[in-house]
Amino acid sequence: MASKTTSRLRKKERKSKREKILKAAERVFAEKGFHTARIADIAKLAGIAEGTIYIYFDSKEDLILSIFKERFGDWLEKLKQRLKECSTAKEKLAELIKLHFKSLEEDPHFAQLLQIELRACSAFMRGGSAPELKAYLKVMEEVIEEGKEKGEFRENLNSRIAARALLGMMDEMVTIWVLKKRFKLPEVADEIFGLFYQGIKGGV
């Protein structure tokens, strides 16, 4: 019994330390940039020895990809729960766009990492984000397919192309916001929804 308790405590401690490292890394990458940031900077902010980081992560690339995968996974689960509360595909589309912008404005460090620093990571650009982005696009495609089936969106709409077009629109606006911050992201949600919806709406 004692050994099981000790094992659980060790797992909890490892999880806590790992989360602490990820949180510190996210801030350092956002503030210093991926290429400029050093493992030593992350260790200092996390309050641990530099060598400890390598117990949990292989490299800076492993660190930044781990941040993306875990944060994006949480984001996707939150989105799915919110969509269950919507009754129409149109409402789901509007909620998806709203949540995308609202979540990133509320978390500027992650927005900086997602829009700028991850693209400086060769592993990310080689497909390190593929499973997560595919899952996000799948949610978009499912919303669009639902709209087509219910007559809310055009029957001849290519859901795959439409989902990627929507992601591209949102991605561009967030990148501009990260670089210039001359507007509030939630304020453009309705505009993006209106532009996109006008191009895909059906006859009802």
Give, rounded to a whole angstrom, the gap between the first and last alpha carbons of the chain: 64
**Residue 44 reports pLDDT greater than 90:** yes
Contacts of 22 (CB under 8 A, 6+ apart): 63, 66, 67, 70
pLDDT for res 1: 55
CATH number at residue 48: 1.10.10.60
pLDDT for res 193: 95
CATH number at residue 70: 1.10.357.10
**Rg of the Cα atoms in the chain:** 20
Task: Answer yes or no: do 17 and 72 share one domain.
Answer: no
Task: Answer yes or no: do 47 and 95 share one domain.
Answer: no
Tokens read off for 148: 């087509």
Task: Answer yes or no: do 12 and 72 share one domain.
Answer: no
**Residue 40 reports pLDDT greater than 70:** yes
Q: Are 17 and 48 in contact (CB under 8 A)?
A: yes
**Residue 204 reports pLDDT greater than 60:** no
> pTM for the complete prediction?
0.84
Q: Can you give the residue range of the structural domain that contains 141? A: 64-200
Kindly indicate the confidence band of residue 147, based on its pLDDT and cuts at 50, 70 and 90: very high
pLDDT digits (tens, 9 = 90+) for 122-132: 767 676 567 88
Task: Answer yes or no: do 12 and 32 share one domain.
Answer: yes
Domain final position from 29, 57, 85: 57
pLDDT digits (tens, 9 = 90+) for 70-90: 888 888 999 999 999 999 999
CA-based nearest residue to 197, from 82, 90, 83: 90
Task: Answer yes or no: do 106 and 36 share one domain.
Answer: no
Q: How many domains does the chain have?
A: 2
Distance of CA 125 to the CA centre of its chain: 15
pLDDT digits (tens, 9 = 90+) for 163-192: 999 999 999 999 999 998 888 898 899 999
pLDDT for res 85: 95
**Residue 32 reports pLDDT greater than 80:** yes
Q: Are 113 and 63 in contact (CB under 8 A)?
A: no
Q: Mean of the pLDDT values across residues 33-59?
A: 92
Task: Answer yes or no: do 47 and 29 share one domain.
Answer: yes
Task: Answer yes or no: do 93 and 47 share one domain.
Answer: no
CB neighbours of residue 25 within 10 Å: 25
